[in-house]
Structure 1
Amino acid sequence: MLREYTKVFASVVGSQDRTRPVWVIDGYAGAGAYEEPDPEGAHPDGSPLIVLKMAEEFKSRQVIKSIFIESDTSAVEALDKNVTPFRDRGLSASILNGTVEEQMPSAWSAVGTNPVVTFLDPFGVAMRRETMTRLLLSRTRDLPPSEVLLNINLEAVWRIGGNLELSAGRVVPCKGQERGVERVDRFFGGTAWRQTFHDMRHEHGSAAQAAEHVIAVYRDQIRQDTGYDSMSIPVRRRPHHEPLFLLTLFFRHPVGGYKFADAACRATRKWRETYRKQELEEFLGRQRQESLFGDDFEMENAAKEGARQEQELDAQWVQNICDNIRNLGAHRLDVARDVSLILGHTLGLAGERHIRKAWDQLAEDGYLRPRDTSKKMHRSAMERA
C-alpha cells in the first residue's frame, strides 16, 4: 500500500508542476530493511527502501525527496548504510535522529510548501494527536497537498482498552496499567475514548469492535478539527483473519480518497498472490517426498487456480458494486466523492476497473446513463437513466 499510494501521489501531484519536488516523510523509519531474512535469504525492504525504490522509478520525470525519522541510534546507523547506495545514485534521502515530536518540525521546515505525503507507522499508539492536527494537517486549501498515511494499530487499542475498569463511576486504568492507557490518551487527544471504548465493549462484547468505533470517532474528530476527510483500509495477516491495523489516509481532495481506494485494490491483489505463493511453498515443503508430478506441475496448477479465483472475485465484486449503487437509490453519484458508498464492503478489494464494469453493466440494464468514455473516472458522475 505504501508503494502503490506514494507512486500515485507523486504521479498526480507531480504532473501539475514538475519544477516542484514531491516529498515523502517516513516518521518511524527503522533500519530500512528487516534484520531477519526471508526463506530465500534476502532481507525484506522496510518502508525507507520501498519509498526510495519508488522514487528511483520517477528520477527521470519528477524529483522526489525523502526524509526518514528514527529515534533508535543503532537503527539510524543501519538505515544510513541502507540508503547510501540510493544517495550515490543521486536520490535525496535525509535522516533525522529523534522522535517524531522532536524532528517533525525540522522535516516540515525542509518541505516548505511543497507537496508531501507523510507515512506514520508507529509502534503501538506512540504519536500525539496534536502532531496531526497542528502540523501535518494544518495546510490551507490554497497550498499544495499535505496528506498523511497513518497505520493505526487496532490491536494495540483493543489490547490496552482491555486494561480499563469502571471505578466510582469513572473509566480508569487498571492498577499498574496507567502508562499504557496514558499513551492511548495522547494519541486520541484526551481521555474521552476510555468511556466510549468501555460502553461499546459492554454493548457488543467485543474489544475489536469497540476499538474500531473509537478509531471512527477519532477520524471524525480529525475531520472536524482540520477539514481533512479520511479513508481506512483494514490490514490482515491472512484473508479471513480479523484486521490488526487500519491503514488510514487523511486527505482534502476527493481524488485522494479515490486514488487511495484504487491503490488498495492493486496492493491487496499483490498481497493475495504473495499469500498463495507462501501457502504453495509450505505445501510443497510438506509434500515433496510424496509428490508424483514434481514442483513445476504443482506450481502451474496453482497459478491456474489463482487466476480462476481472481476471476470469481472480480465478478463477485462487480455484482456487489451494482447492488450498492441500486440500494443507494441516488439520482447522481460523484465517483470520486462517493467512492466509499459505491464500493461499500468491497473497499480495499475492488477498484476503478470494477467500478467501470459495474457502471457499464447498470447502463446496459437501463438503470444508469452510459458513462462518457472520454472523461477520467475520478472526474465522472453516475446519473440515473
Structure 2
Amino acid sequence: MTANEKFFDDDKKAAAVLKHGVLRRYLAKFSGATSSTSSGKRVAYIDGYAGEGEYVNPRSGVTSEGSPAIALRIASDQAAVGITLSCTFIEKDADAFAALESFVSSHAVGSGRALQGDARDHLSIVMQSCVGMPALVFIDPFGRGPDVVVTVKTILGRDDARPTELLLNLSIQAIRRIGARIWEAEEATGREATLAGLDEWMGGDWWRDIYTSDEILSTPEADRAHAAATAVAATYVRKIADAAGCAAYAVPIRRKPSDKELFWLTLFCPRTLALWHFNEVVSLALKEWRGFLADVELAELERTEMETPGLFSNISELQGIQQADERQIDRDAVDDIKASVLKNLRSNSPLSTRSDLQAIFGPALGVGRETHLRTAWKELSAEGHVLPAPTGKLQNVMIHRA
C-alpha cells in the first residue's frame, strides 16, 4: 500500500481537515506577523515529514492537499505582498520523495526545496541555513517523533534572535501502541527493543513509571492504554516547554467529537502573544472541521434517502439541527468565558489577554476566540462586573473589575 492509498484507507480525512486547517491559517499568520523582523522579509518554513505534496484518492480521483501544497500556496500568496516564505520539505520514503520532488519542482517557483532522508539527520543543517530568518518547523510523523534533546537543542534552542516556533503533531496512538508493550511478559519477542525505542523518543525511561503507576493500573482496562498515553504525552510536552523556556498549546485531533484523540497538534513558542493568534486559528479550524463532519452527515443522509425513499421527510430538518448546534456552541463558549473571567478576576489584579489566556477562556479555550470574548466582555460589563472593553483588537489588553 502506498502512502497515497494509506492517507484515504485509514479514514483520516476528518482529522486531516482539522490538522491542515490549523497549519494553513497559522503558517500564513506566522509569516505575515514575523516577516518584518528579518532582512528582505524572509521567513523559513521547515516540514520534517512532508509526504508526497498532495494526495489523489485512488477510488474517487479527488485531490487533497498535503502540507507541502498548503505551504507553497501560502508562499505564493505571501510573495504577492513582498514576503518570501522559504520552504524546505524533508521526506525519507523513496517513493514519496520522488512524488514530493516532482511536486515541489513544478509548484515552488523558487520558494521551496525537497530533501530526502530522515528529518533528524537534516534538521540541524537546515536550521543553520535559516540564520536571520524567523522559522516555523512542522513535525508530523506517522509514528515516533523527534526525541526531547533533538527538539529542544536543534529546533527550539536555535541561537538566533528571530522567532522560532515548532508545530508538533504528537501521536497519541503511537505512544499508546508502543507503551502498552510494557504490560507484556518480559520475554515477549521484541518487547524490550520496542520499549527502548520509546525511551529514546521520550528522552528517558521516566514514562515507564507512569504506565506502571497505581493510578493507571487501576483505570478500567478499556481506557487504560489511552489514559497512560495521554499522561505520558502531557509530561513530554511539559518537559520540552520547560527545557526550551517556552509556552505550549496542545490541540486534540480526533476523527469525531466523541472519539478519543489520535494526536495532539502542539505549538511550542517563545512569545505569549503567539498563543492568542494560535487560539484564533484553532477556533476557526475547529469550526471548519465541524462543518466538514456536518457535510459528511448530510451526504450520508442523502444516500440513505435515495436508497429508501420516504424514510426521512425533510433533509432540511437535519440542517436546522446542525445550525442550532453550532449556535449553541457559540453560546456555550461565551458563557464559559464569562464564568472563567468571574472566577479568576480579582479587584487588584486585572487579567491580561496576552498572558492569562487560559484563565480568561477557561473550558472555551480552542473553541472560543476574540468574537466570543468580545460578546462575553460586553455582557459582563452590562451586568456591572467589569469595565467596558476597549475599542480595537483585544489581543493585548487588560480586563479590569468594575
Deviations 1:277-310 (CA, angstroms, capped at 9, x unpaired): 1111122112214446999x74x65554433322
- What is the CA-CA distance between 1:315 and the residue it aligns to? 0.7
2:144 pairs with one of 106, 125, 131: 125
- So what's the TM-score if we normalise by structure 2? 0.86
After superposition, residues 1-385 of structure 1 pair within 5 angstroms as: 1-16=22-37, 19-37=40-58, 39=60, 41-61=61-81, 62-87=83-108, 90-139=109-158, 143-165=161-183, 175-199=189-213, 200-205=215-220, 206-291=224-309, 298=315, 303-330=319-346, 331-374=349-392, 376-385=393-402
Deviation at 1:144, TM superposition (A): 1.0
CA shift, 1:85, in A, is: 2.8
CA–CA distance in 2 between the matches of 1:246 and 1:157? 11
Q: SS of the residue aligned with 2:143?
A: coil
Contact 2:345 2:351 in 1 (8 A): no
Q: Secondary structure at the match of 2:351?
A: strand
Q: Deviations over 1:239-263 (max 9, x none)?
A: 1211111110000111111111110
Q: Gaps spanning 5+ residues in structure 1: where?
A: none
Cα 1:35–1:128 change in 2 (3 A) is: farther
Per-residue deviation at 1:164? 0.8
Distance 1:35 1:83, change over 3 A: same
Question: CA-to-partner distance for each residue in 1:127-179, whole Å, 9 max, x for gaps?
Answer: 22221111101136x71110000011111112222111499xxxx79552223
How far is 1:116 from its partner? Answer: 0.7
Shift of 1:16: 4.7
Contact 1:37-1:43 within 8 A present in 2 as well:
no
Using the alignment, how far apart are the partners of 2:184 and 2:191 within structure 1?
14
- Judged with a 3 Å threshold, the aligned counterparts in structure 2 of structure 1 residues 50 and 237 are, in CA distance, closer, same or farther, namely same
Looking at structure 2, the residues matched to 355 and 156 of structure 1 have their Cα atoms a distance apart, in angstroms, of 36
C-alpha separation in 2, matches of 1:178 and 1:269? 43
> Post-superposition shift, 1:108?
1.0
Instruction: Give the 3 Å change call, closer, same or farther, for CA 145–242 of structure 1 in structure 2.
Output: same
CA separation of 1:193 and 1:321: change in aligned 2, threshold 3 A? same
Letter in 1 for 2:199: D
* Runs of 5+ unmatched residues, structure 2: 1-21
TM-score (norm 1): 0.90
Give, as a single letter, the amino acid of the residue that structure 2 aligns with 1:75: A
- Partner of 1:95: helix, strand, or coil? strand
Task: Name the SS for the 2:153 alignment partner.
Answer: helix
Q: Which amino acid aligns with 1:210?
A: A
Partner secondary structure for residue 69 of structure 1: strand
